[in-house]
Structure 1
Amino acid sequence: MSAPEQNKELVLTASDTLFGKRDHAAAEEFWSEDCLQHSRHIPPGWEGLFNLVRALPAARRYDSQLAVAGHATSRCPATTSRTTGRGEPR
């Protein structure tokens, strides 16, 4: 497996661990404590990201299968994702 493919797999695994499985303890191995967030509504560091996930309703679902490598030889895959369910009754 090439480095870009390995990176893509790592990003998918990390995203699914935190957002899909909500396994915060296991997800800590994937994020640096001082990771940079590019979303204004998420405080800096993994604590801000993890607290956001903790606050999401249990019915919220995350599809992490939409990862894309920015370029065929990219060492830094970019991700896009989809969430469904706001946790509100229908």
Structure 2
Amino acid sequence: MTEQDRNKQLVRDFYRHVFDARNADAVPDFVAHDYIQHCDHIPPGRDGLQQFVRMIFPEGPVETPPEMLRPPVFILAEDDLVVICGYAPQPEPDLPGQTYDYYLFDAYRIANGKLAEHWSGVNKIALPR
């Protein structure tokens, strides 16, 4: 397995164990202690990420699925960077019951086998529903 393959797997596992399992306590397993957050809608640092996960999943953890609940549209890795694209259809505001395509992009820098830095295409003004 190449370094890029390991980095992509780290990101997949992070999503499964943290977001799919709704488990803020798993964040330190995947995220460096000096994690840099570049998103306005998530508090800074590893502790901020844990707070964010607890806020969006107040009921706490569920069982970790064997695969990502929403597999990425694509995931790319080059050197120490991984970019993942997710698909999250959104409600069409003017057409009840209809949706429109919405793609989420996250980029991570990996250092020493952990997520060290994060950028996102999502911002506090255009959050998905």
TM-score (norm 2): 0.50
Of 42, 65, 68, the residue aligned with 2:71 is 65
- AA of the residue aligned to 1:23: N
Is 1:37–1:44's contact at 8 Å kept on the other side of the alignment? Answer: yes
Which runs of structure 1 show a deviation greater than 6 angstroms over 4 or more consecutive aligned residues? none
Over alpha carbons, which structure has the higher Rg? Answer: 2
**Counterpart selection for 2:86 from 77, 81, 86:** 81
Separation (CA, whole Å) in 2 of partners of 1:49 and 1:83:
21
Distance 1:16 1:44 in 2: 21
Number of residues of Structure 1 aligned to a counterpart in Structure 2: 78
Decide whether aligned partners of structure 1 residues 34 and 79 sit closer, same or farther in structure 2, where only a CA change above 3 A counts. same
Cα pair 2:8 2:76 within 8 Å, conserved: yes
TM superposition score normalised by structure 1? 0.68
**Bigger fraction of residues in helix:** 1
Write the mapping of 1:8-47 to structure 2, written as runs, cut at 5 A: 8-47=8-47
In the alignment, structure 1 segments of 5+ residues that lack a partner are: 85-90
The structure where strand makes up a greater share of residues is 2
Aligned-residue identity in percent: 27
